[in-house]
Amino acid sequence: MSAEKILTSWKQKKFKPVYWLQGEEDYYIDQLVNYAEHTILPESEAAFNLTVFYGRDADWASVMNACKRYPMFAEKQVVLLKEAQHMKEIDKLEAYVAAPLESTIFIVAYKGKTLDKRTKLSKLLVTHAELFNAEKIRDYKMAEWIGELVKTKGYSITSKCIAMLEEHIGNDLTRISNEIDKLALNLAGKKTIEEDDIEKYIGISKEYNVFELQEAITRKDLVKAIKIINYFDSNPKAVPIQQALPALYTFISKVYTAFGMSDQSDTGLKPLFYFNVQALQQGKLMMKNYGYTGVEKLLLLLHHYNLRSIGIGDSGSSGPMLMKEMVAKMML
């Protein structure tokens, strides 16, 4: 069951005795835990029927005893075990999971990893609990995820704004969600998020960002590329080389892949660029301006300067200096 479906069932007051929330993506686990802690029980009941444990400090016996208590002046009690991945002897919870109380909603947040499927506890969870695995969003799904998140909040957003957020923030779902909430508070009745809003309220320049650097490289516009890198250099909150190079590599590697595809029409290439029309057109222009060997050269230069940026084969050149040198060689 997805996080959205679990939340929907909770809002409908449909509960299972045990929920085990595990996996690498904290965003969904935090979303569910926050709702459980602050919304499942009304305030008048929470004072007596909400118990919160933390894995580093809790022992399995105390957690089990809390789960076995009956609610006071209410139908349900909620027991939360946060940061459960740090709890010692967590397998001792097997006995409770095998026979939980219907009057207790026991929610375990096991972040950063998953239980070994071979363990008895893991097997019990499959049959006696709601087991939720929070997986990281794949890079190719990020743009779609951002668009859907904005839509659920009642707004629309341009594809370029999505690219700006993705390139600046990466796949930190919590931060992206917080930034979109910040935008929503400042839009003053507007329903579409635009580049000016991103620049004003999040601080991502609409002219000087990785997306525009990528465009300048595509068009072989060295003057603009250097101007953007100078902006990065003079603005501490702008894009560091360790963030810029992977973003450029992701795009250019797609262009490199396109040369090997039998169908290089728009229809054939769209899936490669995740159906982003703007990225598709930019990719086709890079293919035209550089050719196969030129794009291969771009990837080799990215690899070379990535190594230098982490000190391999370089005595301490600054990030902006390396980027200027790199883009100049790219456009030779």
State yes or no: pLDDT of 171 exceeds 90.
Answer: no
- Establish whether domains 3-134 and 139-202 are of one fold: no
Residue-wise pLDDT tens digits, 227-242:
999 999 998 677 888 8
Question: How far is residue 82 from each of residues 35, 51, 119, measured CA to CA in Å?
Answer: 13, 11, 21
d(CA 273, CA 265): 12
3-134: CATH class: alpha beta
Rounded to whole angstroms, how far apart are CA atoms 215 and 217? Answer: 5
Residue 251 in tokens: 């795009």
Q: What is the pLDDT of residue 101?
A: 96
What is the fold of 139-202? Helicase, Ruva Protein; domain 3 (1.10.8)
> First CA to last CA across the chain, in angstroms?
53
Q: What is the pLDDT of residue 166?
A: 85
Output the six-digit token pair for 13.
Answer: 């007051």
Confidence class for position 8, pLDDT limits 50, 70, 90:
very high
Per-residue pLDDT reduced to its tens digit, 269-289:
998 987 888 889 999 999 999
Which residues have a Cβ under 8 Å from the Cβ of 209 and sit 6 or more positions away? 164, 167, 168, 228, 238, 239
Output the pLDDT for position 327: 97
Helix (H) or strand (E) holding 172: none
The per-residue pLDDT for 238 is 79
Give the amino acid at 131. L
Give me the mean pLDDT over the 83-106 stretch. Answer: 95
Q: Check residue 240 and give its pLDDT.
A: 86
The CA–CA distances, whole Å, from 149 to 62, 162, 224 equal 38, 11, 33
Domain boundaries, the chain: 3-134, 139-202, 219-330
Mean pLDDT of all residues belonging to the chain: 93
Residues 6+ apart with CB under 8 A from 163: 143, 211, 276, 278, 279
Tens digits of residue pLDDT in 298-315: 999 999 999 999 999 998
Residue 93 confidence (pLDDT): 95
Distances, alpha carbon 15 to alpha carbons 27, 62, 78, 281, in Å: 21, 23, 11, 48
